[in-house]
Amino acid sequence: MFVDRAKIIIKSGKGGNGAVTFRREPFVPEGGPDGGDGCKGGDVIFMADASLRTLMDFRYKKKYEAENGQDGMKKKRFGKNAEDLIIKVPPGTVVIDEETGLVMKDLVKAGDSFVAARGGKGGKGNVHFKNSVRQAPNFAEAGGFAKERNVILELKLIADVGLIGFPNVGKSTILSVSTNSNPKIANYHFTTITPNLGVVEIFNDGFVMADIAGIIEGAHQGAGLGHKFLKHIERTKVLIHVVDISGSEGRDPIEDFDKINNELRLYNEKLALKPQIVAANKMDMVSADDPKYLEFKAYIEAKGMKVFPVSAPIHEGIHELMAEAAAILHRLELETPEEEEQYEFFDFERDDVEEDFKEVYTSVADDGTYVIEGKQLKKIFDSTNFNDSGSLRYLYKYIEKKGALEELKRMGLEEGDIIRVFDYEFEYIEEF
C-alpha cells in the first residue's frame, strides 16, 4: 500500500540530573561535594533513506521517543550522552510542525537529515554549587526538559516527468509501455488510486516518470483524489498532458486540456508554468485528418506546445513522445537551475534561541492564590532540595532577582497570602 501522509509524535530525551554526593575525608564537612553532571538527552533526527518508498511504517507506530540522559554519579563521574533517535523516511518527505504549520525540513535527497527535537542538557552536580559560604551544597541541577512535538510527514514523489490528464485517458497504459512499471489498467475511472513510478530508458540514458492520477475539475479543492495527487506534481520538471483525442466518453479534448491546466494553476501557479508536452492518445480511434484532431492540434500549437499523436496499446508514437521529454530534460539541466525555496525552522525549546526561557510569569488563581511560573524557574524548582535551607535560599533568590515578588505586590500581595510555585505553596511573610 502506498502511504504518502502520516501524523506522529516525537519526543527527545530528558537531560540527566546532576548528582548530590559527598566524598569521605576527615575534617571536611560531609566529605566535600563530588556530585557529577548529568548527561545530555537524545535528539530526534529525521533522515532520508533511499531504500524507503512510502510512509507505511508510520501507520502502525505513532510515537517515537529518544533515550533520557544518564544522571550524574559520585566522584564527579558522568555517563555517556544518550543515543540519538534516527527516524528514516523516504527521500522527498516534507516534515511539518503540526502546531504552527511550518515546514521544518524538506528532505529531498537520500542522506538529508535534520534535528527535529533536541535532547535536554545535563544538569550540573552539586560540586558546581560549592562556594566560600556554602561548603556542602545539598542540591544539584535538574536535567533539561525533553521536547515533545506533533509532526506531519508528507511524501511528494520525486520524478522527472509527470503524466497528467483526466481519468481513463490512458496515462497508466503509456507508463506501462514506456517503462518497467506494471500499473493496474482497466476501462473505468480512478483505476489508479496510488501514484505509479517507472524508469524510461532512452538514448543510453533514462529518467523517472510518474502517473499522476485522480485529477478532475475541482481537484484543487479536494474533488476526486484532489490534493492526494496534485502535491506529487510539484517536484516534476516536465509534464506530459494526456488527452483522449477520440472523445470516447463524450468530453471535448480542448475543454479537457483547459480544465486540467486550470486546476494546476488554482492549486499552485508554478505548476502551470512547467514545460508541457501534449499526448493526443487513442489515435487508433480517429484518423490523422479528422477535423477534431486538427482543431485540437492547432489550438495547442498556438499556445507554443507540441502535440504528439499516440496510440499507447500498440506503442504508436510512444518513442517520439519519450524522446521529446528527454530532450526537454536535457535542456533544463543545461540551464541555470532555479534556486529551491529554503525553509527555516527554529526549535523554540532551545535555551539559546528562546527569548523568554528565563522569564518569570505571575498571576492570581481563582482561589486567590498568587502563582509564579516560568520554564527556567521550573528547572530550578526541580533541582531544589526542600529539606536544605541553602537550596531553598537559592530558589528564593532567583524569584526575587527576577522581580516576581515586586510584581505580586503590585497585584495586591500582602503578608499572610499564599504563593504557589508549581506544586509547592508557602505563606508570604514581610521581611523587616
What pLDDT is recorded for position 308?
Answer: 95
E strands of 169-282, at which residues? 196-202, 205-211, 238-244, 276-281
In the numeric block, the cell 537529515 is attached to 113
d(CA 61, CA 71): 29
Residue 432 included in any domain: no
Task: Go through 8-23 and write b for each residue having 16 or more CB atoms within 10 A of its CB, e for each that does not.
Answer: bebbbbbbbbbbbbbe
Same domain, 275 and 184: yes
Residue 343 included in any domain: no
Residue 390 included in any domain: yes
Same domain, 203 and 247: yes
Which CATH number do you get for residue 126? 2.70.210.12
Residue 344 included in any domain: no
Same domain, 209 and 103: no
CB 379 within 8 A of CB 139: no
Domain membership of residue 16 as a residue range: 5-155
Residue 210 included in any domain: yes
Same domain, 185 and 273: yes
Same domain, 76 and 172: no
Q: What does pTM read for this prediction? A: 0.64
- The residue among 155, 172, 205 that closes a domain is 155
Residue 372 included in any domain: yes
Same domain, 60 and 171: no
Same domain, 250 and 284: yes
d(CA 113, CA 168): 39
What pLDDT is recorded for position 75?
Answer: 86
- The residue among 99, 121, 155 that closes a domain is 155
Same domain, 73 and 100: yes
Residue 236 included in any domain: yes
- The residue among 287, 315, 334 that closes a domain is 334
Same domain, 68 and 208: no
The count of structural domains within the chain is 3
Nearest to 178 by CA among 313, 305, 277: 313
What pLDDT is recorded for position 3?
Answer: 64
Same domain, 151 and 186: no
Torsion of CA 290, 295, 296, 302, to 10 degrees: 140
Same domain, 173 and 316: yes
Which CATH number do you get for residue 400? 3.30.300
Query: From first to last of its 432 residues, what are the pLDDT tens digits of the chain?
Result: 456 789 999 999 999 988 888 887 776 666 788 889 999 999 999 999 988 877 888 988 999 999 999 999 988 888 788 999 999 998 888 899 988 888 888 898 889 999 999 998 898 888 888 877 777 788 888 888 899 999 999 887 777 898 988 888 888 889 888 886 554 444 434 344 456 778 888 888 788 888 877 564 544 344 444 445 566 677 888 999 999 998 877 889 999 999 888 888 888 888 888 999 999 999 989 888 888 899 999 999 999 999 999 998 899 999 999 999 999 998 888 775 554 444 555 554 444 444 455 578 888 888 889 999 888 788 788 878 777 777 777 788 888 888 888 888 888 888 888 888 888 888 888 764
Same domain, 146 and 101: yes
d(CA 307, CA 200): 20
What pLDDT is recorded for position 128?
Answer: 85
Q: Give, in order, the Cα–Cα distances in Å from 346 to each of 10, 36, 43.
A: 16, 31, 15
Residue 355 included in any domain: no
Cβ neighbourhood burial of 166 (10 Å; 0-12, 13-18, 19+): buried
